[in-house]
Structure 1
Amino acid sequence: MDRRISARAAACQAVLRPFLLVVALAGGCDALPDLAVTHLGRGDQALAEGRYGEALAAYAHAHELAPHDARVQRAQMRARVSLMAESPARVAADALDDVAYEAEFLRGTEKGLEAVCLTALGNVLARRGDREGARLKLAEAVKADPNAYVAHAALGALLAGRPEAAAEAKVALERALVLRPGAAGPLAGLGKIKLAEGDAPGAIERFVAALEAGDDFGTRLALGQTRLQQGKHAEAAADLQRAAQMDPRSPEALGLLGQALLGAGNLDEAERALRASLELRPDVGTSIALGFTLARRKKSVAALDVLEGVLVADPVAPPALFGVGMANQDLGRTPQALAAFRRLLGLPLEGPQKQHVADLQREAKARVEALEAAQEKAAEAAPEKPPQAKR
């Protein structure tokens, strides 16, 4: 009898063991260590205030103390999904699959997070290059919660770089600013739209306002580039120097910085920045700027080497033709200088760089006239050769 009772008890324990394990785990969840509770509370506060890095750090410490607690895992997922919704550039490419899974999971299990989860999913699609899929997902997020700041901000940011969608982008970004006045992202997006519309002062105003809300590499770069286009070389150099400090490996920031320094007359630093940019990535515009910098530093042979390399790839690059002519003129190679200037004068005035080409041609024409006049004067001053005696 005892054996039968023992066998039955063992069988019951075997059946109940999985359920007992669940109960034990549930009890463990209820009994979080005090320090883990503290980490969770600090993480929740940071998450509510948009300090996602701090929230993730706090939740990671809670996870170390309670690695099997469901509340800790959900908190970590909420933080990652929220970061993807508001600051997608801060999420590593190899984490996109995990974040997409977590967004879908939370969307189906937690109330009040649908718009945030949809925004995160839209940003994942955008990062993967599916812009139309991202647009549809973000529009769904706006519909799910018309008062969700992240949904409007993400939709506006996605559309800001598309001229055909500028009006829709502007509506989304302005709505985001109503929901969160002074937010950096929407202000920067509106600045890009202003720039595309040709309103450089309006773009600068919004970029500056965005940077007052928080420094950002992309916004700093856009501000510096806009000021450079306006010919405000010293101001542009200050902004681009800051951008280069934020990302010392950015060839774009270094190249633009070199151009701004060239315009400001700081030739030594311009050459260093331009060479550093070209070491990271070959670029025609940067090479031309380096050529002009070397020419202005009277390193004419080195300038010719750089600019003639540009002409090998593009034989009709107007700035390179002008630079080659200028460098040859400085070296006293009048025929080569005239040849380069005349090739520039023969180019048609068309395309988006029409005004720039016209300015170069005007300067080239003046140089050609000066060189031709010098040739005529030299020919007149040369003594006549005596006629050769006939044999």
Structure 2
Amino acid sequence: MLIDTTLREGAQLFGTYFNRETKERIISGLLALGTNEMELGWVGQEGLKELVEWARPIKGETALSVWSPCRGADIRKAAALGVDRVNIGVPVSDLHIENRLGTDREGLLERLARSVLTAGILGIRYISVGLEDASRADEAFALAAARLAQDMGASRIRLADSVGVLTPARMMGLAATFRRHLDIDLAVHCHDDFGMATANALTALQAGADYADCSILGIGERSGIAATEELATYLTLKEDNHDDTYQTDGIRDLCNFVSHAAGVPIPRTKAVAGKDIFACESGIHVHAMGKSPDLFEPYNPDTIGANRIVAVGGKSGRRAVAGALEEHDIAHDEADLPTIVDAVRRLSHKLERPLTTMELVSLTKAH
């Protein structure tokens, strides 16, 4: 189950500012996707209360949440927003406890217990406690903090790999350990500093975590976090027990919108979102796909609103060129095919790209 935090973690991306209209369009897109939970922002963020009020009537079964520091005053503000869930962040590594909070482990636990109790007294029904920098914390202490939060009434523990240092193997062990010792929901928040956020998030879900944080295009602090479009597509199309609650046919449109709004260009080979992920020019692949597309495609392009692109160029062989000529009803003499193939390759190398249909027609007529 996915917690999309494009409007909280994603909005923290350097130089990115979402206006109200943009936020509403992102929320609408995430609702269409079927996101389980949306983290709409952080306590104190300008316009957050109004955004929550706008989203509440249309949210359906999607839970609305906000992030709050581990402070009573902020938790009281969060309780007044009328969201379904409040995510309280608290660091558990000694590095953060000492240098950021200026306290010790005992002081941290006292603050945590007091904050969770305050949230419960204020009527927050679902209290999520995010253990920040859990990947660099003493595991026994982090687990003790999680158990304390559970005893005080927390509904969920969220483990944060705040600087993206975990590998899938280490995440598997960490998530399994916490799952084994907790009776409440477990979530993960995986950063992408070494390019493993989506893999770590998926691994945690497979190891027993109930939720994983993600954002559209993985945008967020520094290198960002796990990508919503990658997790939703995998869970829907490739997981053995896939979660068919995610409607992925509009995911690429949402990615393109966020790309423009956040100023983050989408690489043409970006998983799920890239424009050329179903484009093929290589002779062997083109020939094989003519027989059966699933030989070289992990899923049908239609399921994510994409199009298959097959072109001929400098990497194409005789069968690929012949297939393209047949597909586009381009008349040619079979004896001229070798010459046409050579001409296709030469022109493609000259242009440094595959040929368009019109270029293929013109070239064939010339031979």
Q: TM-score, normalised by structure 2?
A: 0.33
**Is the radius of gyration larger for structure 1 or structure 2?**
1
Higher fraction of strand: 2
User: Of the two structures, which has the highest relative contact order with CA contacts closer than 8 Å and spacing of 6 or more?
Assistant: 2
Q: TM-score, normalised by structure 1?
A: 0.31
